[in-house]
Structure 1
Amino acid sequence: MKKQIITLLVACLMGGTLFAQPAWFDDKDLTLTGTYYYPEHWNEKQWERDFKQMHELGFEFTHFAEFAWAQLEPEEGKYDFAWLDKAVALAAKYQLKVIMCTSTATPPVWLSRKYPEILIKHEDGTILDHGARQHASFASPLYRELSYKMIEKLAQHYGNDPRIIGWQLDNEPAVQFDYNPAAETAFRQFLRDKYHNHIEELNDAWGTAFWSEVYSSFDEITLPKTAQMFMNHHQILDYRRFAAKQTNDFLNEQCLLIKKHARNQWVTTNYIPNYAEGHIGGSPDLDFASYTRYMVYGDNEGIGRRGYRVGNPLRIAFANDFFRPVKGFYGVMELQPGQVNWGSINPQPLPGAVRLWLWSVFAGGSDFTCTYRYRQPLYGTEQYHYGIVNTDGTTVTPGGREFEQFMKEIKQLRTLAKARDVKPDDYMARHTAILFNHENAWSIERQKQNHTWNTMAHVEKYYRALKSFGAPVDIINESKDLAQYPVVIAPAYQMADKALVDRWTEYVKQGGNLILTCRTAQKDRYGRLPEAPFGSMISKLTGDEIEFYDLLLPEEPGKYVIDGKEYTWNTWGEILKPSKECRSWGKYIEEFYEGKTAISTRKLGKGSITYVGIDSTDGSLEKDVLRKLYTELNIPVMELPYGVTMEYRNGLGIVLNYSDKPYSFTLPAGAKAVIGTTDIPTAGVLVFSIQK
């Protein structure tokens, strides 16, 4: 591995976005692969055997101390790192670097019993208890104090250890909807800070004149009872902001504490990709974001009769494209190695599926992939969760063999590695951003207006179309520069303000191509409707007036026609009155507004603005609208079937087949297959080199 010098910042173009090249990873490695290990679960006499076999299989790092607070601090203020020192030394003996973890997801029993006030309280009054995990409140100042004491001792001990490459904070930290008294106290302080200690400002933001909800003091405010029908949705919006901030602050403070002592070590955490929770990327001092991903757990999102053995074709791709733009690079901390134990049904993955997932992670630009876990546990909640080796501790599982195959293939390809940004020009020409803000989902889902509406499903209709075009996609927030993208899509971007609309307008005038969709800019950032005609916040940009919107029953969908092709819809449809500068695409039929349009486009300055005021039943309308627009913009697109995706990185093309049929891929001119063949079976992978 390249010598890690944290102060080295080399500008590089990654996926068209200017980021600092991470000093901890080397393009020549392509990616690193590791596995979780819990020394505290196993007889110490077996440790060396296990690390030796890890190394022989091809793993390059391992992962310690995620749930070990009870072993690290068996009594308050008394620490024991001797056992962990032995494990680190044995890992190093077999050329395995270590990711060290903070153990804050599993406080020891002495802490919960001595300080029960740190426990999470649910809205219904249930207080969580010792015996599981993630039962402590991030809002508790006492819990934070006790956590930070342990973390600082751990960082002092290992922060300057060259065998430790990085740190993972907590485990799958989520947003806690906690009703602990400390959370209520913290929520009031959050509101005082946000509204400048002026209760009148809060009353205005929350619209408390409605239904006699007016407050005279911040001390009168309680945590919102979300189960209570018609609870003030502006209050719930602020509560969700507060809850996400508690998680973000807890992680960020851990990170800063470690960085006081760490040298040449990165800090991340392993988020579950719950995109609408609102905390991912919200801890600015983390060096990058990582995620966990499990693909086969009893759902039926795959393709074909046994598609559940392979999984949703875009599940990893969407995570890659969401996490990468946070800091420009990312890792995957947990990737499923086989059967899991927590799904509704826990089937075996299809042979080849584990390797397919590994290549899917790699294709999006990941610098490392780690699997959970090396050994299948013999006791505890996860007894039926597969590992790289079986219950005997030595027999390699089918998924373990697929990890071994992937690692051999990566080592083979390292001789061909080029810079990360070596990608074909036609691929980069269709580089597209999807602008995403979780607060829009919060707001819309509280007032859906149609029970069939699904905000994330609406976003995914556009994403699915883009991946079928073979387009590189970044899912970005408002902090990013739009100008680097030929096309930007803002789906159902309900809450906006003048500053954002001005940014959109400038992007278009300077040559960008913006697509806005239904429900966009209907409300301000507090979730209030402006005192103006519906949709007026963006009417000067789009050139449209929104006359009204309609919602239909799912069993009686409406019809919309573009170029003679019919599409069905029911969740949301806006009836537009475009200006003379706009061109209308399509019309409604069989309704009292027959002949009216929902889609318009126009030139503005050097760019274009397209408004799609309708949500189709199956995403076919969204795909055809994008295809029509990209054709007009002379942006080349592919026509990949659903289940097949293609990405480029390091001078390599990666084609992945999640479908239930073989797929024959035509290599670009000058390309050469280096892994697999152009006839790609289900769960198959093709990797080819490109000339550039």
Structure 2
Amino acid sequence: MNYKQAEQVQIGVVYYPEQWDRSMWEDDIRRMSETGVKVVRMAEFAWSRMEPTPGVYEWAWLDEAVELCGRYGLQVVLCTPTATPPRWLTEQHPDILPIRPDGSTYHAGVRGHRCYSSASIRSHGQRITEALARRYAGHPAVIGWQTDNEFGMNDCHCDACSEAFRQWTRANYGSLEAVNREWGTVVWSGEYNEWEQIAAPYGGSRFQNPSYLLDFARFQWDSIVVFQREQVEILRRECPDHFITHNFHTYPQRMDQYRVAEDLDLASFDYYPNTAPDKQSTGPYSGALSLDLTRGIKRRNFWIMEQLSGPPGAWFATWRAPYPGFIRAFVWQAIAKGADTVVHFRWRSAAIGAEQFWHGLIDPSNVPGRRFAEFERLCAEVNRLSDHLQGTEPKHEVALLFSHEQLEALRIQHQAEGMSYYENIKDYHRALTKLGIGCDVIEWTQPLDGYRVVIAPGFFLMNEQVAATLERFAAGGGTVLVTMRAGVKEMNNQHVQMLLPGRLAELTGIRVEEYDAIGHDAHTIRDAEGRSYSCLQWCDILRLEGAEAIACYEGDFYDGTPAVTVNAYGEGRAYYVATHPDEAYLRDLLLRVAGEQEVRVYPDLPEGVQLAERTGDNGTYLFVMNLCREPREVHLNGAYASVLDGEPHEAVVPLEPYGVEILKHASDEAGSAVAQ
């Protein structure tokens, strides 16, 4: 794999030549080149044009489009088209179409109408992938591949899925005795005495056996892995010099992206920051988490395979138009967070089909407007700075641990009104971002070497290996922050039979004697300095067993009991947050933690301003981004120079609405900033 091609800092576009008259293609591609576009993604939905009838391939149109890109100096990423099997294929092989939990069929007409367990889609998918790969393996313009499009769990309940789930269960457990034990099927007389009785959870109710439901989710994750791997193996064999990626989408994503990404060279994400004015106080922070999550999938830089180019709208009401500067600012946010290539969706707004009002860079009028002018400026900036930024990446001392198994287990058994695993992670991440603390969001079982602080929210499921990893990290001098509902379940989704937080009790130095699911009923906690804060969702009622209380509940029958604790563990410490505090408390707590570990903070960033750094052989670049509609000022300590215009900044960086500055420290060292 030629990874150097994948890590260039550049701008691309999505183009659908099959949806436009051939007479438009060369003008479009010439304009892309003149605008500064470097990469074009094509063909993810074009199976019916590649193979209009069974076994009959028509490549002339795609040959011409790829050749035009090469002629004008554009690189091409092609896609395997298996997200949209053609009608002739689904008519011949109806087993391709997923069956919903209620027994209805997910028919063709939208997209994603393929069951990952279907032998027909897998065999035909391998065939079209092989034909594509062989056709374009040697084309100099083609540099990489995207598998399928936006994988997700389709919760298919067809006979093939039931049979595959049965085989998966047998391979994992070996005997029905083990299945009955690990799923706890004695409840409600659910015990199995024949393998044939194991099937998909018909009806789709999340009130069925939680151990069984979590395993059905794991089975679906593995089914997607196998489905993709069959394509990846072909691409590796036929195109060894090309990179392979997949465009993940929509967080929180139930599908385990870490498993799916194991076979990929890099991760990609489809990024559509919300344009609504009433989302500017939350949207940029949600976006920051999405970008950090994507970087954490492979723990390296990534691509944005679809980036907002205009207001989305199709099967929902059209969003607000992007405010001037919005498109540019959010591309720089993505790059600051580790995106090397940002591909815009789409070059042209569709004139046909279901996505006609999911706006691209050029509307069907073919008259470039304000959005296109902003895009043109952006391309020039990125191309000018590409050599500076190539080889740089974010480097952080704080890790936030994420788990699809926790997400799914807490979806299956909702714990309290208003309590959401992902939304709670967003709150911690937003507090970090507002303090300018860079953060890696990584899979919860990953090694923790190199970090000073690890935040472990919502560790509902727990195993000995992760508990030991956290203990070693703290013992070696790190700080671990654990939150409520930790250690409740074994990995088979059965309740532990010990006082909580179970396997994390020694690390945290506390025991949970009781709990109160307060939901939306706000409670109060007070810290040692007498400051009061609100909390929601849950209150673990703690007994100290070595830990020290740093905040206590006020009111209710557990008035005065610990709400937040810290425990010395080896050379480090472990915090336990027994409730979900408001943003003000999270800020103060994270300031304390960062101070103890000497993690740099920017405590007075204006609302809406985000900072991020990329570091490499060329030095460290500080991105200062105003992601809101009001002007802002950032005050610096140290001398910086703008790499956008060369101007020095020694005191104040003024930022217009959606303004961006990219700075390099005068001594080529990361300076400190204090924002006001």
Same topology, TM > 0.5: yes
Q: How does 1:145-544 map onto structure 2 within 5 Å?
A: 145-196=123-174, 198-225=175-202, 227-228=204-205, 230-283=207-260, 284-296=262-274, 300-303=278-281, 312-327=283-298, 328-342=300-314, 343-393=316-366, 395-414=367-386, 416-417=388-389, 419-420=391-392, 431-544=397-510
SS in 1 for 2:5: coil
* Structure 1 residues 572-596: Cα deviation after superposition (integer angstroms, max 9, x where no partner): 11111112x4221111111111110
Confirm or deny: 8 A CA contact 2:606 2:634 kept in the other structure. Answer: no
* Structure 1 residues 277-307: Cα deviation after superposition (integer angstroms, max 9, x where no partner): 133132322111101011236694323xxxx
| Aligned with residue 516 of structure 2, among 550, 555, 562 | 550
Confirm or deny: 8 A CA contact 2:36 2:383 kept in the other structure. Answer: no
Q: How does 1:570-649 map onto structure 2 within 5 Å?
A: 570-579=536-545, 581-616=546-581, 618-639=582-603, 640-649=605-614
Q: How does 1:61-76 map onto structure 2 within 5 Å?
A: 61-76=39-54
Give the Cα–Cα distance (whole angstroms) in 1 for the partners of residues 194 and 450 of structure 2: 47
* Structure 1 residues 459-487: Cα deviation after superposition (integer angstroms, max 9, x where no partner): 11111111122112111114422021111
SS in 1 for 2:643: strand
Structure 2 letter corresponding to 1:254: Q
Q: How does 1:98-117 map onto structure 2 within 5 Å?
A: 98-117=76-95
Give the Cα–Cα distance (whole angstroms) in 2 for the partners of residues 619 and 367 of structure 1: 32
Structure 2 letter corresponding to 1:449: Q
Correspondence for 1:13? none
Change in 2 beyond 3 A, CA 1:297/1:224: farther
Q: Percent same amino acid among aligned pairs?
A: 29
Give the Cα–Cα distance (whole angstroms) in 1 for the partners of residues 513 and 105 of structure 2: 50
The reply on whether 1:687 has 2:662 as its aligned counterpart is: yes
Confirm or deny: 8 A CA contact 1:324 1:365 kept in the other structure. Answer: yes
Give the Cα–Cα distance (whole angstroms) in 2 for the partners of residues 668 and 32 of structure 1: 31
* Structure 1 residues 28-49: Cα deviation after superposition (integer angstroms, max 9, x where no partner): x5x1111111111112122111
Give the Cα–Cα distance (whole angstroms) in 1 for the partners of residues 203 and 501 of structure 2: 29
Change in 2 beyond 3 A, CA 1:609/1:226: farther
1:129, CA displacement in angstroms?
Answer: 2.0
1:610, CA displacement in angstroms?
Answer: 1.1
Structure 2 letter corresponding to 1:440: Q
Give the Cα–Cα distance (whole angstroms) in 1 for the partners of residues 488 and 206 of structure 2: 23
Confirm or deny: 8 A CA contact 2:118 2:160 kept in the other structure. Answer: yes
Structure 2 letter corresponding to 1:102: T
1:613, CA displacement in angstroms?
Answer: 1.2
Confirm or deny: 8 A CA contact 1:436 1:493 kept in the other structure. Answer: no
Q: Which one is further off, 545-554 or 468-477?
A: 545-554
Give the Cα–Cα distance (whole angstroms) in 1 for the partners of residues 387 and 640 of structure 2: 16
SS in 2 for 1:74: coil
Correspondence for 2:113? 135
Correspondence for 1:17? none
Structure 2 letter corresponding to 1:397: G
* Structure 1 residues 640-659: Cα deviation after superposition (integer angstroms, max 9, x where no partner): 24421100114321111123
Q: Which one is further off, 520-529 or 340-349?
A: 340-349
Structure 2 letter corresponding to 1:317: A
Give the Cα–Cα distance (whole angstroms) in 2 for the partners of residues 25 and 552 of structure 1: 48
Structure 1 letter corresponding to 2:427: K
1:56, CA displacement in angstroms?
Answer: 0.8
* Structure 1 residues 517-563: Cα deviation after superposition (integer angstroms, max 9, x where no partner): 11111111011112222323211111111111112252x42111112
Q: Which runs of no fewer than 5 residues in structure 2 stay unpaired?
A: 670-676
Give the Cα–Cα distance (whole angstroms) in 1 for the partners of residues 404 and 135 of structure 2: 38
Confirm or deny: 8 A CA contact 2:547 2:566 kept in the other structure. Answer: yes
Give the Cα–Cα distance (whole angstroms) in 1 for the partners of residues 22 and 108 of structure 2: 26
* Structure 1 residues 432-476: Cα deviation after superposition (integer angstroms, max 9, x where no partner): 101111111211222223121111111111111111221121111
| Aligned with residue 79 of structure 1, among 57, 68, 93 | 57
Correspondence for 2:672? none
Q: TM-score, normalised by structure 2?
A: 0.93
The reply on whether 1:35 has 2:10 as its aligned counterpart is: no
1:387, CA displacement in angstroms?
Answer: 1.6
Change in 2 beyond 3 A, CA 1:479/1:593: closer
Give the Cα–Cα distance (whole angstroms) in 2 for the partners of residues 229 and 366 of structure 1: 37
Confirm or deny: 8 A CA contact 1:297 1:344 kept in the other structure. Answer: no
Change in 2 beyond 3 A, CA 1:299/1:204: farther
Change in 2 beyond 3 A, CA 1:299/1:136: farther
Give the Cα–Cα distance (whole angstroms) in 2 for the partners of residues 167 and 39 of structure 1: 17
Confirm or deny: 8 A CA contact 1:72 1:80 kept in the other structure. Answer: yes
